[in-house]
């Protein structure tokens, strides 16, 4: 979940860029290997909160 107090730097979801997505993907893959889950699909959702609005972006990216 990502929140911001203003839109000066874009929407909260924009903070989940390529570098951050890659980090999440690596950690998820390491976890799946550790738990012996094999090659299972893994999706990532992003939740952004702006003022009183909640935006749930399902399947924002996957590995």
Whether residue 29 has pLDDT greater than 60? yes
Scored b (16 or more CB within 10 A) or e, 3-29 reads: ebeeeeeeebbeebeeeebeeeeeebe
Is the whole-model pTM more than 0.85? no
Q: Can you give the pLDDT at residue 18? A: 93
Distance (Å, rounded) from C-alpha 31 to C-alpha 26? 9
pLDDT tens digits, residue range 3-27?
666 778 788 888 889 999 999 999 9
Place of tokens 């909260």: 12
Residue 59: pLDDT band by 50, 70, 90 thresholds? very high
Both structure tokens of 56: 């749930």
In order of 13, 14, 20, 26, the CA distances from 17 in angstroms are 8, 6, 5, 14
Percent of the chain at pLDDT > 90 equals 52
């Amino acid at each position: 979940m990502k929140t911001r107090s203003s839109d000066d730097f874009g929407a909260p979801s924009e903070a989940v860029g390529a570098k951050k997505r890659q980090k999440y993907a690596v950690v998820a893959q390491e976890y799946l290997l550790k738990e012996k889950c094999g090659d299972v699909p893994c999706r990532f959702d992003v939740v952004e909160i702006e003022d009183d609005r909640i935006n749930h972006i399902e399947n924002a990216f996957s590995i």
